[in-house]
Amino acid sequence: MTNGGSSIRVLLAAASAVRRAGLESLLKNADGVRLAGSFQNLANISYHVAELQPDVLLADLDASTGFGPASLPTVALVDEPDTNWTAQALLSGVKAVLPRDADIHEIIPAIHAAHAGFLFLAPQFAQDLLVHVRRPIGPGDAALEELTPREIEILRQLADGSGNRDIAAQLGISEHTVKFHISSILNKLDASSRTEAVTLGIRNGLIVI
């Protein structure tokens, strides 16, 4: 596939002008993707998405950068994120996490995976996340057996970064019902947040990343 109408339109965000120029060059010379635009930070992401209609966001980030809900599939380039950052990014809708020194052979497949709806983690980040969630079974883990099939389905969609409205639309139920199920999930797992509930799901094999 060559750059053209069927290419994946990529919006680039990078605070460093040098990094931004390098990534722009990479995208402009890669098959199957097209640079839709680039900007310095994530502050006006909604405006850029509405104006440029990209398919995927490629964001060059610092590990201290937090994520709100991602408005489109996102590939994050970040130095040594801790496991909590990675888990929160995935929960927010980020589809791929790569080191900032990733090359074209890693970045382009990650963009394609994110566009297709798949998760794509650099091996070292995936291993760190798995090590973090592996521990002896505790009360919260046993409570997973009490989850209904519908609650497990919603838990998996939370792991994909879906918001209440998206979950409601996908399942054909109301947002109120989604909120009820999420509250039930948190209560059964004794989890204080969606991230903690998703982590328990990953640890016990209910969610595959």
Closest CA to 32 of 66, 64, 55: 55
Q: What's the confidence (pLDDT) of residue 61?
A: 83
| CA pair distance 156, 13, nearest whole angstrom | 28
Residues of the chain with pLDDT under 50: 1-5, 135-140
Longest dimension (CA), the chain: 53
Spell out where 15-61 has E strands: 33-39, 56-61
Q: What's the confidence (pLDDT) of residue 164?
A: 92
Supply the pTM of this predicted model.
Answer: 0.63
- pLDDT digit string (tens) for 12-67? 999 889 999 999 999 998 989 999 999 987 777 788 888 999 999 999 987 666 66
In the chain, the amino acid numbered 147 is L
Is residue 73 within 8 A of residue 57, CB to CB? The reply is yes
Q: What's the confidence (pLDDT) of residue 114?
A: 93
- 125's enclosing H/E stretch is helix 123-133
| CA pair distance 72, 127, nearest whole angstrom | 25
Q: What's the confidence (pLDDT) of residue 93?
A: 81
Structural domains of the chain, ranges and CATH numbers in brackets: 8-131 (3.40.50.2300), 136-203 (1.10.10.10)
DSSP structural state of residue 8? E
In the chain, the amino acid numbered 188 is K
> Count of CB atoms within 10 A of residue 78's CB?
22
